[in-house]
Structure 1
Amino acid sequence: MKFLDWYVKISAGGALIGASMELFMIKTGFYDKVTVLESEKRAWESSPEAQAIRDALNPWRNHDTEQRKNT
């Protein structure tokens, strides 16, 4: 335990930096913006347009399951 004070200083500094980052994100409204963006993303991903795009971009998605059913 020769360097215990060094470890305590590093962990205290890291906690201080993390707390300041969290405070900055709260004060700037970061979490509110992210919540809105995530809800818009989830709403779009569940739309019929997004499903059509996924099917068009990956036509082989269900190919393996159909082969397993046929065997």
Structure 2
Amino acid sequence: MKFLDWYLKVGAVSALIGASMELFMIKTGFYDKVTVLESEKRAWENSPEAQAIREALNPWRHHNAEGTKKS
């Protein structure tokens, strides 16, 4: 327990830095922007256009289907 005071100081400073970062993100509206971007991303990923692109860019789609049929 020789360095307990040092560990407490480091822990307190780390908690203060983390809290200030969270406060900054809340005040600037970071979480609202991220929520909107994530919902737009999920909507795009579930769209028929994105699924068609995903299928077209997957060179192993036929190879994987043949492997599951043989098993």
- Residue 70 of structure 1, CA deviation: 2.9
Residue 27 of structure 2: aligned partner: 27
Distance 1:62 1:30 in 2: 42
Work out the number of aligned pairs and report it.
71
Distance 1:16 1:24 in 2: 12
Q: TM-score, normalised by structure 1?
A: 0.91
Distance 2:55 2:38 in 1: 22
Residue 50 of structure 1: aligned partner: 50
2:35 aligned with 1:12, yes or no? no
- Residue 62 of structure 1, CA deviation: 5.1
The residue identity in structure 2 corresponding to 1:69 is: K
* 1:26-65 per-position Cα deviation (integer Å, ceiling 9, x unaligned): 0000000000000000000000000011011113135224
State the Cα RMSD in Å. Answer: 1.3
Residue 70 of structure 1: aligned partner: 70
> Any stretches of 5+ residues in structure 2 without a counterpart?
none
Distance 2:5 2:62 in 1: 59
Q: TM-score, normalised by structure 2?
A: 0.91
Deviates more, 1:4-13 or 1:57-66: 57-66
The residue identity in structure 2 corresponding to 1:47 is: S
> Any stretches of 5+ residues in structure 1 without a counterpart?
none
